[in-house]
A = this chain, B = another copy of it.
Amino acid sequence: METTWAHQLRQAGLRVTRPRLSVLSVLAEHPHADADRIVTGARELHPSLSPQAVYGVLKALVAVGLARRIEPAGAPALFELRVGDNHHHLVCRSCGAVADVDCAVGAAPCLSPSDTAGFVVDEAEVVFWGLCSTCRSEDRQVLATGTPAQAQHHNRGGTRA
Chain A interface residues toward B at CB < 8 A: 69-71, 73-74, 77, 88, 90, 92, 99-102, 104, 109, 111-133, 136, 161
Closest to A69 in B: B73
- Known A73-B71, A74-B71: A161·B117 in contact at CB below 8 Å: yes
Choose among B74, B101, B109 the residue that contacts A128 (Cβ–Cβ < 8 A).
B109
Quote the shortest CB–CB distance from A66 to chain B (angstroms).
19
13 A-B residue pairs with Cβ-Cβ distance under 8 Å, sorted by A, are A71-B73, A71-B74, A99-B117, A101-B116, A104-B113, A113-B128, A119-B130, A119-B133, A120-B131, A122-B129, A122-B130, A123-B128, A124-B128
Chain B residues near A129: list those with CB within 8 A. 121-125
Q: Are B121 and A133 touching (Cβ within 8 A)? A: no
Q: Are B102 and A117 touching (Cβ within 8 A)? A: no
Chain B residues near A161: list those with CB within 8 A. 117
Closest to A114 in B: B104
Chain B residues near A115: list those with CB within 8 A. 101-102
Chain B residues near A101: list those with CB within 8 A. 113-117
Choose among B90, B100, B123 the residue that contacts A130 (Cβ–Cβ < 8 A).
B123
Q: Are A130 and B120 touching (Cβ within 8 A)? A: yes
Quote the shortest CB–CB distance from A129 to chain B (angstroms).
4
Complex: A119 Cα to B122 Cα, angstroms: 28
Complex: A74 Cα to B62 Cα, angstroms: 14
- Known A124-B127, A126-B124, A129-B122: A88·B113 in contact at CB below 8 Å: yes
